[in-house]
């Protein structure tokens, strides 16, 4: 009788462990898939320059005299340096 109970307990434990291993983990909504981040990283969004309003793939950001953040394209970079803005 003790042998039968032992077999049933071992069988029940093995089934529980098998189901736990097969179950996919659930993630919180704040978890971000790394593959999604890598896919978006290759696409550079165009942003308008704060001075000339032309869209540029790469902007350099400066702090203006009023403390605002200003995005400047390569063509307008000299204007920002003449106004002695601090690069961020």
Task: Take residue 45 and report the two structure tokens written for it.
Answer: 């969004």
Task: Take residue 46 and report the two structure tokens written for it.
Answer: 């165009």
Taking only the tens place, the pLDDT of each residue in 34-75 is 887 777 766 666 889 999 999 888 899 999 888 899 999 999
Q: What is the pTM of this model?
A: 0.49
Task: Report the pLDDT value the prediction gives residue 51, as an integer from 0 to 100.
Answer: 93
Task: Take residue 21 and report the two structure tokens written for it.
Answer: 């291993």
CA distance 10 to 3: 11
């Amino acid at each position: 009788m003790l042998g039968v109970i032992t077999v049933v307990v071992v069988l029940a434990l093995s089934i529980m462990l098998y189901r736990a291993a097969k179950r996919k983990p659930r993630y919180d909504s704040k978890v971000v898939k790394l593959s999604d981040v890598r896919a978006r990283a290759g696409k550079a969004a165009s942003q308008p320059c704060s001075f000339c309003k032309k869209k540029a793939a790469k902007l350099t950001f400066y702090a203006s005299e009023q403390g605002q953040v200003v995005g400047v394209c390569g063509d307008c970079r000299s204007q920002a340096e003449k106004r002695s803005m601090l690069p961020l």
